[in-house]
Structure formats: C-alpha cells, structure tokens
Structure 1
Amino acid sequence: MMSFFLNLLATVFFCLNSDSPDSQYVTDSSGAEQSKPNLVFILADQWRAQEMGYAGNTQIKTPNLDQFAQESLIFQNSIATLPVCAPWRASFLTGQYPLTHGIFYNDKPLPNEALTLGEIYKNEGYQTGYIGKWHLNGHQRGEDPFSGRDKPVPADRRQGFDYWKVREVTHNYNNSFYFDEKDEKHTWQGYDVFPQTDSAISFISKNRTRPFALVLSYGPPHDPYFSAPDEFKKLYNASQLTLRPNVPEELQDSARRVLAGYYAHATAVDYAFGKLIRALDSLGIADNTLVVFTSEHGDMLLSKGVLKKQRPWDESIQVPLLIRYPKKLGSTSRWIKNPIGTPDLLPTLLGLSDIPIPKTIEGNDFSDDLLKGSDISSDGTLIMLPVPFHEWQFSNGGREYRGIRTVRYTYVRDLQGPWLLYDNQTDPYQLNNLVDNPQFKGLQLELENLLQAKLDERKDQFLPADHYMSQWNYLYDRTDSIRPQDYLMRNRLP
C-alpha cells in the first residue's frame, strides 16, 4: 500500500509540475507529408537496464519512460559491447567495433576520418544537432589525460553535427557550462538536464518542417550519485529500498544510499524525457519520428561489491533500449528478446530511415526483422574490454576479456582462458559461475566456439592490453598500467 501511495504521489507531482505542451508549441498544419523520418536519440549515462518500471522494478519512478515503452519496441537484451563511456559513443556513432575505430579507452580522440551518424544523416539532407556530453575529442599524446574535458571541441571535430551545445565531459550537473557553434562559453542554468531538454525542444520546433537528426546526451544518472535536485531526492527513502541479492551484506547500507541518489537522478531524467516527448507529439510530427532512448552502459551499484562499469556482468553491460516509430513500427509495445550490440544501433537506425548503409559499418542492420514484426536474427553479441583502466585498472583487479552474451547465457574468457559462465535464466543475479563444471562441459564448448567464430569474424586475436596501446600510440593514464606481480606471472607477460 505504501509503495502504491508513493507512486501515486510521484505521478501527481509530475502532472502538477509539467508544462502544458499545447501552450508552448504550435502543431504544424502545413499538410505537407515529409517522407524522410526524423531521428531523436536520447542517451542517458550509466543507466542500467534493471532500473526501469516497465522492466518490473516497482521502486523506481519512471512514469514517462514506462508510458513511452507501451508505444515502443522494448529490447530486453541491449548490450554495451564495451561498457564504458567513450568506447560506447564511438561504436554507436560509427557502427564499428572498438578495435576498428580505436576508442577502447576514455579520453582518446576519435579520428577525424571516422564516418559517423552526424555525417551520414547530414549527407542525406538532414539538419543535425548534438546537445550535452560528447567525450570523443579526447586529448593528444603527452597531455594531461583529462586536459580536454573543459575545452571546446573544434568545428572540424564535431563529426557532422551543426547545431552544437556541447561539453566534452562533466560530472557536475548543476550550473555546468558548455560551448556553442562559435566556441562561446555558456552556462546551463540549474540542473543541466532540464535546460538541455529545452534546447532540444527548440531545435525540434525550428526544424519540424524538414528532416532532422538530433542526439541529446544527458550526464545523469552517472555518479556523483547525490547531486540531483532536492524534489527528486525526496521521492526516495534509502532505508526502504530493496537491493539485488548479489550485493554483499556488509555493503548494503552504502548500496541503499547510493541507489537512492541514483534513482533521484533517473527520475529527474524521466521527468525531462516526458516533457520532450509531449512537445514532440504536440508538434504533429511524432508519427514520422524515430525516437530512441538508451544508455551507454550500466552501473554495478555495489552488486558483486563494486561500483560503475567495465565489468562483464549484466549490471554493467545490460542497458535500456526503447525505439518508437509509429509510421513503420506501429504504436503497440513489443519485446525484442535476442541480443543487440552497440555497433548494431547505427545500421539498424539507418535501415529504418531508408538510408543506404556505408561499407565502413561493421554492425548488423536488424531493421528488416523489426519491420516484419519478428525478433532480431541474433545468436549473441560480443562483449569486450581490450584495456582495463581507471576505476578497474590492473592494480584494482582489472583484466582484459572477450565474451559472448546470448539471449540466455553469458560466457567470458580472459587471457588465461575460460573465466565466467552463467545461465541468466536460472541464475539472473549471476551468483553461480559454471566455468569448468563437468556438467556444463558441452555448453561451455558450444559458447567457446560461438565466441571464437565472432572473434575470427572481427580478426580479433585477443592480445594483451599493451599491444593495443602501442598500436594506437596511446599512453596509459596515471597508474592504469601498473600490474600486480602475480598478474604478470599468471598471464606470462614480459
């Protein structure tokens, strides 16, 4: 009863505090039907798939995303191929795997030569825009590893996006600054998610009579976990939150506090998302607009006793993915169960947009499956970490790995050999590692062969981290390259 009451209060709060879209936006009544679909891509940072009302979580308040899910394709197994910020973004924008575009480590520069979503849609006559976090300009070799985070991104490094309200990286979400098209510095007043959303609505409204492609990239719910506006923090009582069973008992009090702050950020993003969708709908262009909501990776949130990402467990790699496109996909909710990986997003969006797919793209185009009303034809998707760094650097237990996530199983190996095997159907919290269990020898071999086939397809030899750092002329940041002696011995590294 208390849970129901809290959800009811939250719903009332949103209704009372939501602006009336009809009072702000004028419906386009020109009568001209635009053949090319618009694209609105909304990206949250570090929002794991398990923390959604539509996914069965009864304690998080996501009323707008839950409503949107009722009109969308819901991808049950959307997987971050490399679950960390910059690599995900590079793979999404290029449709390539990390060892192809070279961004397998944060704060390294995406090559200018990369062909990206912005350039492809712009070449098709679209107005293009990008708002929020970029994280692909990086820094040059020898510079301080975080030196580029507060600098403007040069015009020739914006990869085809013209409307530009961007900060390379920040995790301060209150009164944060950004740079515009002229490299002029401005401040997002208040909690930046809200004015960023207003900027997106302005871009959409101004371009509603011509095709546009917009990426809106929010910072939250990425840590710091306790900086959401107070009205959203008040919606959650940490002591009443239920944790996943794989959070160690000694960390559960801390986990509840972190989760409450994380939820506050998520609900604030949901509130902004609702405002954007109502504005889009009121402009009369929703039917011919592809709207996507997803995240670049998850957050362990003290499951397995750790925070953040890079790890191959579902809390890190599994992210929400919703796609709404009424004109071609209808307005009825449908679950897509088979896995989709990060490089598959761009070709699938291009397919749904009737745009030819460039040869540089390596991901799969699943648009035909979606248009036919079937599940996607995927037998599994790669997960990888060529170089562990920062919060999961070598001295903190980080390790290189390659793995496969199928609709049911997770199989991962490190440089020593098989490391993890989970049956996610019978063991959804991944508590029982089945690697080298004689009872599952056949399954392990089957998954090993599937993984190896995908690595062979990518020409991925799965070499130690130093190889890739040398290949791309990268330097390790700070202490990332310091390996414990037992690591060197176990992996027979020089």
Structure 2
Amino acid sequence: MKKSPLAGFQGLYAFNSLVLLIALSSCGETKQEEDKADSRPNIIFIMSDDHAYQALSAYDDKLIQTPNIDRLAEEGMLFEHAYVTNSICAPSRAVILTGKHSHLNGMMDNSVRFDSTQMTFPKLLQENGYQTAIVGKWHLKTQPTGFDYWRVLPDQGHYYNPEFRTPEGLVVDSGYVTDIITDRSIQWIKDNKESKKPFMLMYQHKAPHREWSPKEEHFRAFTQKEFPEPATLFDDYAGRGTAAKEAEMRISSHMGVTYDNKINPEIAEKLGHKDFIYWYKNGYYEMLARMNPSTRAAWDEVYGPINEEFEQMNPQGDALTSWKYQRYMQDYLGSIASVDDNVGRLLDFLEEEGLAENTIVIYTSDQGFYLGEHGWFDKRFMYEESFRTPLLIRWPGVTQPGSVNGQLVQNLDFAETILEAAQVKIPAEMQGRSLVPLLKGEKVDWRKALYYHYYEYPGIHAVKRHNGIRTDRYKLIHFYYDVDEWELYDLEMDPQEMNNVYEDAAYMEVRENMHEKLIELMHEYKDEVKVPTN
C-alpha cells in the first residue's frame, strides 16, 4: 500500500503534540506544587527578659499565678532543668540565634556588637521557605538580619510610649510596651496568614527587665500585695569565696530606692540615701516623663502614698532590706502579670484563627534572675537562680500534653530544635542538640553535663569572670581573672548552694571527676582560651 505524502508530517505532529501535552501536564503539576501550602509547622518563639522560673506558677506558685503561660505546660512539655550558657542579655540572645557558645559567636558580654553576617537559625529558615519576623527586644546593637519583618526596641527600650527601630527608621508607639509588642506580633501574623509559607515569629518582651514598671492595672493590684521573703535574703556569704561577697547586686545596699523602688529622689536624699549609680536619679525622672497624663495621674495616686509612708517610716538596716524587697517584688511581678496577659491574648488569637494546631509555641527567658535569694537581684552567676530558666514548649500532635522533662538542656539547643522541627538541615558548626526527640517522648542518650562561661568583669554588678560545669547532682565553678578560686556544690544535699565543699575531704573523688568533665567539655566546645590570673 502506498504511503500518504503527509504521513511523515502527521507522525511528527502527533509526536510534538504528545511532547506538548506532557510538558503542559508537567507545568500543571509544578503549578499545583506551587499552589500547595507548605505543611511544616509555624513556630512562635516567646522570650521575656529576666523572667525567673520562681516567678512562673507552672514551676512555683508562691509568688504569682501565671495561668496563660502555664497553658503551655498543661498542653505541652515543661523542662525542669533548662539553663543558659552565659547569664546576661545580649550574649544569651546570640547563643540562641547561632547555636554556638559565646567565645565562638563573638558576643561574650553586653558591650560587643553582634556580627549579623554570621549564620543564624532565622536566616536558615528564611532561605528554606519560612516567613520570618522579630518584634520586641533585640539588644544586639546591629540591624536584625534573616527577618522579612522586624520592629525592635533600641537597646533596652522603655516601658511607656516606647520607640522602636524599623527598616524605615525610629518610630514611637503610644501605650504600654508589653501590649504594643503583642499588638504588632498579632498584626504581622494576620497580615501573612494567607501565605502558603509557614511562619517563624520571635516575639520578645522587654518585661520584666529592670526598672520593673508595671501597667496601671497591675501596679494598682500588686502594690497591695505582700510576698514571702526567701530563706537566704540575709545571706552573709560564709562558706563561699570572694566572688559572692564582692558582687554588687545586694538588695540592701545596691538596689536604688529611687530608680528601682520608685521613691522621689528629693525624699531619698533628705533621708540620706545616696544611690551609688549616677543614672538612678535620671532614670527615675525619665520614666515619669515618658508617661501620658492619665498614666502619670494613676501613678501619682498609687506611688504618692508609698513615698509618704517611706518618708515617715525611714526604715534602716534589715527593715530597709525587707521594705525594698517588697517594693521590688510588687513591681517585678506586676510587670510579669502583663506578660502573662499578653501571652494569653496571643494563644487565644491562634485558637480563633485556626492556627494553634499547626503552631509550635516556645516560652523561655534570656536567663534566670534573683528574687532576693542570697540577698540579690540581677543575674550573671552560675548559681542556680541565675543559671536556670523557664522553658515550656507546646507542639500539638507531637508533644504529650502535661509532660515533664528532667534532662539537662540549654539555650544552646534552641536553634537546632527549631531547625529540625522545620525540617531544615542543622549546620555542623552548631554546638547544641535538638530537643525534638525529647519533645516526642523518645528515649535517647542525653548529655550528662552542662558548660557555662561568664565574661563581663570588670563591669556593672562586679560579678567575677567564671566558668564551670553542672551535672544532675554537682556543680563545679572556677572564678578567675583577678582571683583563682574554686567552688563545688552538692545540689542534692545543698540545693541553695550555701556550702562550698571544694576542700572537703569527703568530696575529693567527686572533685577530681568534675575537673575531668570540665576539661572534656572545654575541649568539646572549643573553649581553649588560657584562663589568666590578671
């Protein structure tokens, strides 16, 4: 049979049509993939500033009830032994971002500028399909990088009518800082929730950082409360070395009655109080100047009688310490009450918007804080109240509600945890461990010791440089630079760390084992710097 002269053309046409059909089909599949929402979890990292675990009722309800933050423990996991690597604001934040100890990320104290060009977990999430944002406290001096949206406080920021740094410049928001940070965070989620991309939000509060200035409803309520004194409020530091004795953070002599306790400088000076830091008086007047008229009127109504009573009482000695402790707790805890209110607002918003089931929520603090233990306020030491932090994580469908974990974990682990949850490869240079297996309830071979290193001396509060190691039961600390002193604590027998047993013959074997572990961890974390003795 004779072939048609068009047969070859028809065959070629059929072949090309098939190729086109396959190509169009392929494009359709690609388009469907593009249109398909990324099902990886959203992540909200909530961090307050100086929030002691003792002031969170999921851990201890003697001082305050925090029902909203407690929801994360009830619906997720509470970590009983969460710690930091360096108990001070900016270095802690750098460790969280980079997953590396201070000596490697370069942020060893608060005076340093963070190197924003280095690798951070927000950058890795952004590169791997996440929308990223940070709202609130940044405190790293440089411009935030790795974020699609950022609105951060300059330096420490202010409680009333605060300024914020933005890509467009400095702006002022009217209101109370904890409310504003929440408003802006919720608005960012609203603006981006229709996106096919998952989001990661760092929602970071100024509160309850010093000068502990509560919102009106809470300073009205908390100034009417009285709080139990800690057993070690009048600690004389016997049985410990010079570091505890020489630290300048005692409520009795280093807390300012003006800036900290809200006593008018004229009354303070009349009664002979010489607040030892020059900016106390200026800070007091600046705080008042930032208030709008209605807040200032309410403030005068509440704090005016407190000033009058103080002037009439003129407490001295231990009575003054007790008075200052109560004023400290009233304002510190009042500031936390707003954090709890606003965490509740955010959690409710997630529920209302149908976002809760696919959102991991982490709550922590940049370090612990002293609430009168050992007579102190502030942080910095490797002693427990400063070293330990709250850590609550809710991951619906993955983490068993109401679960409690007792492993030794650190802020060094946060970056790795977030990356694994987001299905992003964890860089080999990161030094922590992902908490995901713990959150899943898996039995894993976990670390047996934690490493700590504090550098900011000479400096405010005069806490000496030191490094050390903590295991489940023991803690070894080396104070160096202007001294060469060692402290060893048996945390089972002495949980308040009142008795240094470093020279106790009964602990010689423990001491040697702890020294060996310390050297091992210094090598593991590449902290090979020679310890100078001045």
- Bin the TM-score by the shorter chain: 0.7 to 0.9
In structure 2, the CA distance between the partners of 1:451 and 1:252, relative to structure 1 (3 Å rule), is: farther
Q: Which has the higher contact order (CA 8 A, sep 6+)?
A: 2
Pick one of 350, 353, 356 that aligns with 2:422.
Answer: 353
Contact 1:122 1:160 in 2 (8 A): yes
Using the alignment, how far apart are the partners of 2:527 and 2:405 within structure 1?
28
Comparing 162-171 with 115-124, greater Cα deviation is found at 162-171
Q: How far apart, in 1, do the equivalents of 2:486 and 2:375 lie?
A: 18
In structure 2, which of residues 334, 341, 347 is the aligned counterpart of residue 271 of structure 1? 341
Residue matched to 1:324: 394
Alpha-carbon separation, structure 1, partners of 2:452 and 2:392: 21
- Residue 179 of structure 1 pairs with residue 244 of structure 2: no
One-letter amino acid matched to 2:203: L
Match of 1:160 in 2: 146
Q: Which amino acid aligns with 2:185?
A: A
Distance 1:62 1:292 in 2: 15
1:48 corresponds in structure 2 to 52
After TM superposition, give the deviation of residue 239 of structure 1 in Å.
Answer: 6.5
TM-score by length of 2: 0.73
Alignment partners' CA distance in 1, 2:500 and 2:119: 40
DSSP-derived class of the 2:55 partner: coil
Find the aligned partners of 1:87 and 1:347 in 2 and give their Cα distance: 17
Moved more, 436-445 or 89-98: 436-445
Note if 1:191 corresponds to 2:256.
Answer: no
Return the offset for 1:181: 2.7
C-alpha distance in 1 between matches for 2:225 and 2:181: 32
Tell me the distance in 2 between the aligned counterparts of 1:42 and 1:254: 30
1:414 to 455, 458, 479: 479
1:70 matched residue in structure 2: 74
1:340 aligns to 2:327 (yes or no): no
Asked if the contact 1:77/1:337 (under 8 Å) is kept, the reply is yes
One-letter amino acid matched to 1:127: Q
Query: Which residue among 230, 233, 253 is the counterpart of 2:323?
Result: 253
Q: CA deviation at 1:387?
A: 3.4
Structure 2 CA distance, aligned partners of 1:32 and 1:203? 22
Structure 1 counterpart SS, 2:398: helix
Q: Contact 2:161–2:177 (CA<8 Å) still a contact in 1?
A: yes
Q: How many residue pairs are counted as aligned between the two chains?
A: 412
Separation in structure 2 between the aligned mates of residue 93 and residue 70 of structure 1, nearest angstrom: 27
Determine if contact 1:338/1:380 at 8 Å carries over to the other structure. Answer: no
**Whole-angstrom distance in 1 between the partners of 2:225 and 2:192:** 46
Preserved CA contact (<8 Å) 2:53 2:60:
no
DSSP-derived class of the 2:132 partner: strand
Deviations 1:417-455 (CA, angstroms, capped at 9, x unpaired): 552222223322222222221112222222221111100
Q: Distance in 1 between matches of 2:491 and 2:220?
A: 34
Normalised by the length of structure 1, the TM-score is 0.79
List runs of 5+ in structure 1 lacking aligned partners: 1-30, 139-152, 466-490
Once the two structures are superposed, what CA deviation does each residue of 1:119-143 show, in whole Å capped at 9, x if it has no partner?
01101111110111111125xxxxx
CA deviations on 1:243-299 (whole Å, 9 max, x unpaired) are 221211733332222112110011110001100011012211212111111000122
Distance 2:378 2:216 in 1: 23
Contact between 1:204 and 1:280, CA under 8 Å: does it hold in 2?
Answer: no
Residue in structure 1 matched with residue 516 of structure 2 by the alignment: 449
In structure 2, how many angstroms separate the alpha carbons of the residues matched to 1:99 and 1:336?
A: 29
Alpha-carbon separation, structure 1, partners of 2:445 and 2:211: 36
Q: How far apart, in 2, do the equivalents of 1:456 and 1:279 lie?
A: 46
Q: For residues 345 and 405 of structure 1, what CA distance do their matches in structure 2 show?
A: 19
Amino acid at match of 1:280: L
Q: Is the 8 A contact 2:137 2:205 kept in 1?
A: yes
After the TM superposition, which of the residue ranges 414-423 and 208-217 deviates more from structure 2? Answer: 414-423
Q: CA RMSD in A?
A: 2.1
Q: Distance in 1 between matches of 2:36 and 2:345?
A: 26
C-alpha distance after superposition, 1:27-49 (max 9, x if no partner): xxxx9764211110111000111
Task: Point out where structure 2 has 5 or more consecutive residues left out of the alignment.
Answer: 1-34, 236-317
Q: 2:95 aligns with which of 86, 91, 95?
A: 91
Residues 337 and 389 (structure 1 numbering): CA distance in 2 closer, same or farther, change over 3 Å? Answer: farther
User: Aligned partners of 1:441, 1:238: CA distance in 2, in Å?
Assistant: 50
CA–CA separation in structure 2 for the residues paired with 1:310 and 1:58: 24
User: Could you say which residue in structure 1 is the equivalent of 2:355?
Assistant: 285
SS in structure 2 of the partner of residue 35 of structure 1: coil
Which of structures 1 and 2 has the bigger CA Rg? 2
Residues 1:166 and 1:379: Cα distance change in structure 2 (over 3 Å)? same
Q: In the superposition, relative to structure 1, how do residues 44 and 338 fare at CA in structure 2: closer, same or farther (>3 Å)?
A: same
Q: Partner residue of 1:229? A: 215
Q: Are 1:297 and 2:362 counterparts?
A: no
What is the SS of the residue equivalent to 1:90? helix
Aligned counterparts of 1:88 and 1:389: Cα–Cα separation in 2:
19
Question: What letter corresponds to residue 363 of structure 1 in structure 2?
Answer: G
Post-superposition Cα deviations, 1:166-193, rounded to whole Å, max 9, x if no partner, equal 123134211011122322x322221111
In structure 2, what is the equivalent of residue 200 of structure 1?
185
Q: Residue in 1 aligned with 2:206? A: 219
Following the alignment from structure 1 to structure 2, what is the Cα–Cα distance between the partners of residues 63 and 399?
37
Partners of 1:39 and 1:188 in 2: CA distance: 26
